[in-house]
Structure 1
């Protein structure tokens, strides 16, 4: 009796684990790697999947390939031509410059990790003399995502879906991805060329004057001339481009700050506004920045975006020992359009936050910088730019990898592993740099995503969800069933990571195809393409977060332009599936 009862509760236990995981991922309160690790531990501890099976899922060929390509991305970011190819020495029209920049980014993203492409091209985008950075950065993120769907290895989503589909006896090759992917990239390019200058005009106009900008901190040291005087008397209400938002004292926070509030020794003044006015704060006699730029100082100012896999995510500057770890001081923080409150050192950081840092000229060469930041105002090379000989060898090796992978001469996972291993062996990236840049958090997230897909199949939820979709579309319409799979996957990918959505949707897609007697390939492709349709919100894809504060962009900027891009992308994908598979 008890055994029968416990057995009857197993589906509810599986449902609870899956629901809890999705809820935690959607909340954003816990790092994805932490959530997936807890999920894996619960699956094993509760006996939902055998431990040996779960352990084997950690070293799937597709996972190894993704991680190897991420390591090699550190080498790609050091190639000088990757930046030069996007620059034009001749003055051109806005849309012509936009087309050149985005078409190159989309083409490269078909063969290189889009995170690496966006990271490498953010600097040139911010310094483009013909187009405002606000008109380049978000379109760059969108076109890199669209370009990645052209090949089986353009995005981690495609790699993982191709690997998992192979286990089900389904072989997906570049011939399956490329025609539809190219169609989608062209549609996205056209949408961006037509609508980006219109929908992002406000972002370009407001970026200099936005008071929802950087969060800066200054201190009142002992003996300061400001002590005992009011805010107005000290001229702190008349600073151009800066607004005194808070005064933090030992036991209280003054907010909003009144003109008659008096400054006391030890006060921490929180300003919000234009970071270019940093020198104005440093020039105020009696006010002290953390460790700002000083006359005749070798320090430089850098703007750095916190990466998705950074050790800073979810932790404060104080908790990570920021100054000791990076030999740099954080002078200001910006988080999109969100108004921050409190001391800089007490702010839990998020992926996409932009920091203004004071550091030495060798900061860009530190081997722990690349794994934690994307620099937007300086050429970013780990260990420096590759010399001409090594650059040519890296390019040749990458081209050889593309040819071998597309032709099937060499197993894709073996080719990716050889590319990363060869980069270390030939000194293109040092073992220490490779260790620093290795995405441990991504490895755990991929492991958890594959475990999620296997639990869905083991629990029979793929059949249940497939039945639900078919009950809506009917068994006689392959077109409606394909559309239902596509949009169900898209809804999921806006809530959780792309890989998690794709691997959770794949078994459902294959089950729908089996139940209606259709070819499974277009359904597997629909799941892969839909999982890369994260255009509507900044949290849908890590490159969107990378450019959010650098733009800067507001949430509505993503919704307005993202809705247009999503419509163009989806129409191209679904149209391509119908043309090539119906």
Structure 2
């Protein structure tokens, strides 16, 4: 009883923090399992052993091996072929190819590798391609055991609960059905995506900053008198005066020395702002480069996430001045230096010549206008990488060599051949994922071993018992879908699995359909740009609004849910 009460408290705090705060989920899960250890619920040996789970090790090795796979000519060929044909043909080709690649390599890496080619497409608007790119990467991840981290994590949960390991293609039939109806839905809903092409660049809401200098003629005159009110494609949103923010700026607002004027609008209006006497838009040595601006998109692997431009000393780090920031269509507040950077943010930079020579550009950015950030392997080396990877998968599928062993040998060979550098592995090592998954496996085992999961399922059984196993199966699936839209997909799987397994045991049925409900439900993130990392990566790059995700993602989510709920019981009977 003591164990259940303490664990209940830990789980309530964990869930509350996941839903109610912006704290890093990795810290929350590690904190939860450490609290369980301090409370005597789990031994140190058992707690640490969860981080050596075979499924977790497999996932880490796959992420590291994918560093080489994404450099191969296969990715290059796909990127070059995107612009060929009509929009429908391009989206279909992009969708099928992305889904195929995502079925055996990290879908975040696939999107990162293709986002630059899509953004630079001269044939179709990026906004018509980027969201389908993200959605098909998610759908492709459901096709195989290794397609998404969620599938491997759920497999780890299942093995720890005493079930047989899931097979490589156990997900494929249901995943193919979901992919097929998903592609059809995307094609039908394509017309509702915005066309943010060149003709619509004037509405791109970049966030610009100008500072009033001591000798400026703007000082002592109102906004209206200075002609700052009716600027074409620009809107004066705020004035920062010391520690004070002046919002909803009126035409009668007087301009003072040192004021920071915050504009929202067209990045191409920077030269217009420079015509105002004493309004400094780009500072010191970067001023001469104002007509040679570059756009960059912050990477998911950037070490600057959650930090402000000022905190990371951006100018010193990159020899470039940040003159504008865009985050989808969100209205940012405060000075540019105080905006916390997020994955997917678009920054407009005035770079010096040293900027292009920096070695860490690929780590921090997934896209730089005019530059190809992807390192490419020579054709012979590329073929060897793909042959080795396919061989590892084949040996695993036919039970000749365990995947963990095959991936270890392949990773070592890739390092010795130079296809993967040690620095690349250090940069891409998924520390947060290891922390979440290792901790979540321990918490899931505790919920099952202490009987807490059984207690929760008993309560649900009282509510859902009249609906039978299928009703409970639907409830678990929808609960996981809700969780994955509100928190991370891996956290959603971790919270849902113990309850799903205990419900199946309570009904006395095969737990496999419930396990699959958790796996496929945790991959159903289509409605929000913040629910899945690939959605966030294309958010600013495609100049989307949240409503664009709802317009296409809601029908896609409904169709996906209906398809999965229909196919899982057919493929995996109760």
Could you state the TM-score of these two structures normalised by the residue count of structure 2?
Answer: 0.91
Report if aligned partners of 1:68, 1:417 keep a CA contact under 8 Å in 2: yes
Deviation at 1:285, TM superposition (A): 4.6
Structure 1 residues 85-94 or 388-397, which shifts more? 85-94
Q: Pick from 439, 443, 452: which aligns with 1:448?
A: 439
2:149 is matched with 156
Distance apart, 1:47 and its partner CA: 2.2
The separation in 1 between residues aligned to 2:515 and 2:95, in whole angstroms, is: 28
Partners of 1:115 and 1:364 in 2: how far apart? 25
Aligned match of 1:5: none
2:376 is matched with 385
CA-CA distance at 1:535 after TM superposition: 1.6
Assess, with a 3 A threshold, how the Cα gap between structure 1 residues 450 and 484 changes in structure 2: closer, same or farther: same
* Alpha-carbon distance in 2 for matches of 1:260, 1:240: 19
Secondary structure at the counterpart of residue 474 of structure 1: helix
For the residues of structure 1 that align with 2:377 and 2:530, how far apart are their CA atoms? 33
- C-alpha distance in 2, partners of 1:257/1:544? 34
Question: Separation in 2 of the partners of 1:516 and 1:152?
Answer: 26
Query: Quick check: 1:191 aligned with 2:185?
Result: yes
Change (3 A) 1:68 1:274: farther
User: What is the distance in 1 between the residues matched to 2:388 and 2:270?
Assistant: 45
Structure 1's 296 and 577: CA in aligned 2 closer, same or farther, altered over 3 A? Answer: closer
Please give the alpha-carbon distance, in whole angstroms, between the structure 2 residues aligned to 1:70 and 1:151: 15
The within-5 A match list for 1:434-473 is 434-473=425-464
8 Å Cα contact 1:87-1:128 kept in structure 2: no
- Partner of 1:535 in structure 2? 526
**1:15 matched to which residue of 2?**
8
> Which moves more between the two structures, 289-298 or 328-337?
289-298
Alignment-derived partner of residue 113 in structure 1: 106
Change (3 A) 1:284 1:121: farther
Equivalent residues of 2:212, 2:278 under 8 A apart: yes
1:310-329 mapped onto 2 (5 Å cutoff): 310-329=302-321
Cα distance in 2 for residues equivalent to 1:29 and 1:232: 40
CA deviations over 1:254-295 (Å, ceiling 9, x no partner) = 323333434333222211112233343345553323458654
Structure 1 CA distance for aligned equivalents of residues 346 and 260 of structure 2: 21
Within the alignment, does 1:400 sit opposite 2:391 as a pair? yes
- In structure 2, the gaps of 5 or more residues are none
The equivalent of 1:100 in structure 2 is: 93
- Change in 2 beyond 3 A, CA 1:46/1:275: farther
Residue 495 (structure 1) aligned with residue 494 (structure 2): no
Structure 1 residue 22, shift from structure 2 partner = 1.7
In structure 1, how many angstroms separate the alpha carbons of the residues matched to 2:275 and 2:387? Answer: 52
Asked if 1:346 corresponds to 2:342, the answer is no
Shift of the 405–332 alpha-carbon distance from structure 1 to 2, 3 Å rule, reads farther
Q: Structure 1 regions of 5+ residues with no counterpart?
A: 1-7
Separation in 1 of the partners of 2:357 and 2:55? 31
Aligned to 2:136: 143
Over the aligned positions, Cα root-mean-square deviation in angstroms equals 2.8
DSSP-derived class of the 2:530 partner: helix
Q: Which residue of 1 aligns with 2:54?
A: 61
Residues of 2 paired with 1:399 and 1:18: CA distance? 41
Match of 1:339, SS state, is: coil
Q: Residues 347-395 of structure 1, C-alpha deviation per residue, up to 9 Å, x if partnerless?
A: 223333322233457757755444443216455535x332333333323
What SS does structure 2 have at the residue aligned with 1:561?
A: helix
Shift of 1:23: 1.9
In 2, the alpha carbon distance for the partners of 1:368 and 1:457 equals 45
Deviation readout 1:12-57 (Å, 9 max, x if unpaired): 3212211211222223421222322322332222223222211111
Indicate if the aligned counterparts of 1:22 and 1:496 stay in contact, CA closer than 8 A. Answer: no
Q: 1:44: which partner in 2? A: 37
Deviates more, 1:425-434 or 1:254-263: 254-263
